[in-house]
């Protein structure tokens, strides 16, 4: 995407009917570190990848508590995410003070979408360069919404945003039919497996991911690293126990493929490694 005379402000439409600044904001979401959300009938799990800008710095927080029954995971510009999470927190406090009840998740998402959409109508504003996965629990059950910088919002059973999120979406699409009846621990495990899909060869450890849980009788909270490490170790050990049974067949298949393809396969494999873009 290149600069042109139609991206100087957000209210200028191109001849093709596009708002370039809105597209730039959506591109910022795609370049951010991955965030994942999934829900069952009683629980919502949010997860994100922790990426530091350098070895000398710590990572930025990507999951925020809004209220006991609502939390958000963000991808994109963290500063915009903090501003919007503070707005959501204030709305929940005001509603609770006025009506002495918890703010319905759907109503908060609509208010957030309206706030984002106003930024696409005023020439002196810019779109928020952040996507939010809003997980919540109210009288109608568990909910998971995705709020787009354009002001659109969608409800999902499971979703992933950010860098390399397509791999996580593929995993979630294979498994989403089981999520409705899944237990809390199974949801957390599926969230970690989806996060691992976005790492592209990197080892999943408790230090490079954050997981938060919300459910019936369980207020929104972020799991500590020790708990996450135990869960990761449990399904890695289970995977190692399943591997030996299939090793002979896999080895035979690899030898046959190597004989048929010759050196071309090796050459193609070497060019595919290390070409993934760095996270921003």
Q: Please report whether residue 142 resides in a domain.
A: yes
Q: Please report whether residue 227 resides in a domain.
A: yes
Grade residue 202 by pLDDT with cuts at 50, 70 and 90. confident
Confidence check: pLDDT of 116 > 50: yes
Confidence check: pLDDT of 263 > 70: no
**Residue 181, Cβ neighbours under 10 Å: how many?**
10
Grade residue 144 by pLDDT with cuts at 50, 70 and 90. very high
Grade residue 277 by pLDDT with cuts at 50, 70 and 90. very low
Per-residue tokens: 205: 């450890």
Q: Report, as an integer, the average pLDDT of 153-181.
A: 95
Q: Please report whether residue 243 resides in a domain.
A: no
Q: Please report whether residue 276 resides in a domain.
A: no
Q: Write out pLDDT tens, residues 224-254.
A: 999 999 999 988 777 666 655 544 454 445 5
Q: Report, as an integer, the average pLDDT of 268-276.
A: 43
Confidence check: pLDDT of 180 > 90: yes
Pairwise CA distance, residues 63 & 49, whole Å: 10
Grade residue 259 by pLDDT with cuts at 50, 70 and 90. low
User: Which residue has 């730039």 as its token pair?
Assistant: 24
At 100, which CATH number?
A: 3.60.20.10
pLDDT at 260: 54
Number of domains in the chain: 1
| Sheet-wide strand order for 70-76 | 63-67, 70-76, 130-138, 141-147, 153-155
pLDDT at 149: 96
Q: Please report whether residue 46 resides in a domain.
A: yes
pLDDT at 237: 73
Pairwise CA distance, residues 165 & 280, whole Å: 14
Which has the minimum average pLDDT: 10-19, 93-102, 127-136, 267-276? Answer: 267-276
Confidence check: pLDDT of 1 > 60: no
| Strand, coil or helix: 260 | helix
pLDDT at 271: 41
From 149, 163, 154, 162, select the one nearest 25 (Cα to Cα).
149
Grade residue 201 by pLDDT with cuts at 50, 70 and 90. confident
Confidence check: pLDDT of 59 > 90: no
Whole-number percent of the chain with pLDDT over 70: 84
From 3, 69, 269, 49, select the one nearest 165 (Cα to Cα).
49
Q: Please report whether residue 279 resides in a domain.
A: no
Given a contact cutoff of 8 angstroms between Cβ atoms, the answer to whether 155 and 145 are in contact is yes
> Whole domain around residue 217: which residue ranges?
20-234
Q: Write out pLDDT tens, residues 160-171.
A: 999 999 999 999
pLDDT at 250: 46
Those residues whose C-beta lies under 8 Å from the C-beta of residue 126, and which sit 6 or more positions away, are: 10, 21, 25, 119
Pairwise CA distance, residues 44 & 138, whole Å: 12
Q: Please report whether residue 194 resides in a domain.
A: yes
pLDDT at 158: 97
Q: pTM for this one?
A: 0.82
């Amino acid at each position: 995407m290149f600069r042109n005379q139609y991206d100087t402000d957000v209210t200028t439409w191109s001849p093709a009917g596009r708002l370039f600044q809105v597209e730039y904001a959506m591109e910022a979401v795609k370049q951010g570190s991955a965030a994942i959300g999934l829900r069952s009938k009683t629980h919502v799990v949010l997860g994100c990848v922790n990426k530091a800008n350098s070895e000398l710095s710590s990572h930025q927080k990507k999951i925020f508590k809004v209220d006991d029954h609502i939390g958000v995971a963000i991808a994109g510009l963290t500063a915009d995410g903090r501003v919007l999470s503070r707005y959501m927190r204030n709305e929940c406090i005001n509603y609770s003070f006025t009506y002495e009840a918890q703010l319905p998740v759907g109503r908060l998402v609509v208010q957030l979408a309206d706030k984002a959409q106003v930024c696409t109508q005023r020439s002196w504003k810019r779109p928020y360069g952040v996507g939010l996965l809003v997980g919540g629990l109210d009288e109608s059950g568990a909910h998971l919404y995705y709020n787009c910088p354009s002001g659109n919002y969608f409800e999902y059973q499971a979703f992933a945003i950010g860098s390399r999120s397509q791999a996580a979406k593929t995993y979630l699409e294979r498994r989403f039919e089981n999520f409705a009846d899944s237990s809390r621990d199974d949801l957390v495990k599926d969230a970690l497996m989806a996060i691992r899909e976005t790492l592209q060869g990197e080892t999943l450890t408790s230090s490079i991911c954050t997981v938060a849980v919300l459910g019936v009788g369980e207020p929104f909270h972020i799991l500590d690293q020790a708990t996450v490490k135990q869960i990761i170790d449990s399904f890695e050990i289970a995977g190692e126990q399943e591997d030996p049974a299939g090793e002979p067949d896999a080895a035979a298949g690899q030898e046959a493929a190597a004989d048929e393809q010759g050196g071309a396969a090796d050459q193609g494999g070497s060019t595919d490694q290390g070409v993934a873009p760095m996270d921003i």
